[in-house]
Amino acid sequence: MDKKKRIFLASPHMSEEGYEQEYVKEAFDTNWIAPLGENVNKFEEELANYVGSKNAAALSSGTAAIHMAFKALDVKKGDIVFCSSLTFSATANPIIYQNATPVFIDSERDTWNMDPKALEKAFEKYPNPKAVIVVYLYGTPAKIEEIKEICDKHNVPLVEDAAESLGATYKGKQTGTFGKYGIYSFNGNKIITTSGGGMLVSDDKERIDKVRFWATQSREKARYYQHNEIGYNYRMSNIVAGIGRGQLKVLNDRIAQKTEIYETYKEGFKNIPEIEMQPVPENTNPNHWLSVMTIKENSKVMPLEIMETLEKENIESRPVWKPMHMQPVFEDYDYIQVAEKSVSEDLFTRGVCLPSDTKMTKQEQERIIKIIKELFNK
C-alpha cells in the first residue's frame, strides 16, 4: 500500500506568484549576497509599515531579536525578568544570555497567555524587575492592555514576543507594538517564513540604530576595524530578506487561510463535547498560526492517543508547549500562579496542536477531522 503523503503541522509556503524569487533574483543580479543590502533595508521598512511601528531591525532569528531587546534595556546580572511560562524556550533563553534571572508567570484561561493577576502577584514578590516579556501563544493576543497597564504602573518596560502572532491584532492594533519592543520570527514553520530570521521593532530610533550596530559586530565607523563594545553576528542576510519581502505580500492571505483552518476544525468538532478549541478572546483577531484544541479531563480519549493515531496516518501533530517552569534547565527559577491549579501545566497536559499547514487541502483537513472523530465515537 502506498504511504500517504505527509501532512505537516506548519511548513513553509512560498507565494504562488513568485514574489520571493523576484527579490532573491535581484540580490543575485546585483551581487548583494551579504548581511546588508536593499532587501534588508526594504524588509525593515515594509514590516515596520505593516505593523505600525516607526523602526525595525532585521536580524538572524527571533531569538536574536529578544536578546537584543534585553541588551537594549540593559538587562544584566542580578536583574529579574518576568516571563510567560507557557512558551518555547527561545523566549526565556536570552534572559540567561544576559546573566539575568527569569521568573515565570502562569497563564489564564481566556487567552492562554500571561495572567495579569499572576503578574501583579509577581510584582508584589519582586517589586523591581528589569523587564517583562509576554508571549502571544499560537497567534492569539494576550490581555495586553491589562498587562501594559501593570507594567506602566510599576515603570517597567514591556517586551512582546510576537514570534507566533505576526498580523494578529488587539482592538485593531498589531501585536508587537504595545510595549517598548516587539519581536517577530520568520522561522520555517511561522505564518510567513524566510527560512530563518527575525525582526525587532520599536518607536525608539536611537535604540534600534544601536541594535543594528551591535548586530554587525559593533564595528565602529573607522578606516580600520575598531571595536569598543562586544558585538554579535546577528544581521539578516540580503537573500533571506528578499524572501521575507515576498512573503509579506501574502501575509494577509495566509492569515485568512489559517483562520479558515481554525473555523473548519471548530465546526468539525462542535458535536464532540470533550473537545474545546483555543478561545478567541473579545476584541482580538488572532492570526491562528496553529489551531490548538484541549481534551476535557474526563475524556476516554486522551491527547497522546490522538497524536499517535495521527502519526500512524503520517499526519504531524504536537503537544502544547511544555511550560518553562517544568523544564529541567529552568527548574531552579521561581514560578508565579494565582489559580489553584496551574493553568499552563493543565493546558500542556490536555492540549494538542493540530495540523495547520496552509498548503493542506480541504480534503486532507476533513480526513484529519474524521480520524479524530472516530476515536471519540468508538
In the chain, pLDDT over 70 holds for what percent of residues? Answer: 99
Is residue 33 scored above 90 in pLDDT?
no
User: For the segment 12-28, what is each residue's pLDDT rounded down to a tens digit?
Assistant: 999 999 999 999 999 99
Q: Which domains does the chain have, with CATH numbers?
A: 19-248 (3.40.640.10), 251-376 (3.90.1150.10)
> What residues contact residue 260 under an 8 Å CB cut-off, 6+ apart?
none
Handedness of CA 16, 17, 23, 25 (dihedral sign): positive
Question: What is the residue type of 315?
Answer: I
- Average of pLDDT values for 319-340? 98
pLDDT of residue 204: 98
Q: How many residues in total does the chain contain?
A: 378
**What is the 3 state secondary structure string of 124-169?**
HHCCCCCEEEEECHHHCCCCHHHHHHHHHHCCCCEEEECCCCCCCE
User: For the segment 229-282, what is each residue's pLDDT rounded down to a tens digit?
Assistant: 999 999 999 999 999 999 999 999 999 999 999 999 999 999 999 999 999 999
Degrees (nearest 5) of the Cα angle 91, 211, 179? Answer: 55
Let me know: does 198 contact 94? Beta carbons within 8 Å. no
* Pairing verdict, β 80-84 and 131-135: parallel
User: Within 13 Å and on the Cβ side, how many CA atoms surround 360?
Assistant: 29
pLDDT of residue 320: 98
pLDDT of residue 1: 35
> What residues contact residue 311 under an 8 Å CB cut-off, 6+ apart?
317
Is residue 328 scored above 50 in pLDDT?
yes
DSSP 286-297: ---SSEEEEE-T
User: How far is it, in rounded angstroms, from Cα 255 to Cα 287?
Assistant: 5
pLDDT of residue 113: 98
- Bridge partners (DSSP) listed for residue 315: 7
Average pLDDT, the chain: 97
User: For the segment 92-143, what is each residue's pLDDT rounded down to a tens digit?
Assistant: 999 999 999 999 999 999 999 999 999 999 999 999 999 999 999 999 999 9
DSSP 8-74: -SS-----TT-HHHHHHHHHHHTT--SS-SHHHHHHHHHHHHHHT-SEEEEES-HHHHHHHHHHHTT
pTM score of the predicted model: 0.97
Q: At what angle do helices 205-215 and 62-72 cross, to 10 degrees?
A: 120
